[in-house]
Amino acid sequence: MSVKDKVIGIIAEQAVLEPSDVTMDSTLEDLGIDSLGLVESIFAIEEAFDISVPFNANEPEQSDFDISSVAKIVEGIEKLVAEQHG
């Protein structure tokens, strides 16, 4: 399974949606994922990829991890996987 499909699976589960309903340009807000849901998703992502995601809920825009869309999240995780397991 690609990083993209795995991430979409995690986000879909959090949002209680079918993976097909999660598009690359969706935002977490579009999907109804709140701040607590976001923290839970990041935890699931860290577990799934065995990586550490630099994210502080107090300053999401200043974290090194861009969460503005599903595409950005996938891109960020691909980078982290390469860095931490490359």
Please tell me whether residue 57 binds another protein under the rule CB under 8 A.
yes
3-state secondary structure of 6: helix
For the CB of residue 42, give the shortest distance to another protein in the complex, in Å. Answer: 7
Binders of another protein: how many residues, by CB under 8 A?
13
Q: Which of 23, 56, 68, 84 binds another protein (CB under 8 A)?
A: 56
CB of 83 to another protein, least distance (A): 16
Q: Closest distance between another protein and the C-beta of residue 15, in Å?
A: 18
Report CA dihedral (46, 60, 74, 29) to the nearest 10 degrees. Answer: 110
CA triple 15-21-25, angle to 5 deg: 90
Cβ atoms of 33 and 14 within 8 Å: the answer is yes
Contact call for residue 20 and another protein (CB under 8 A): no
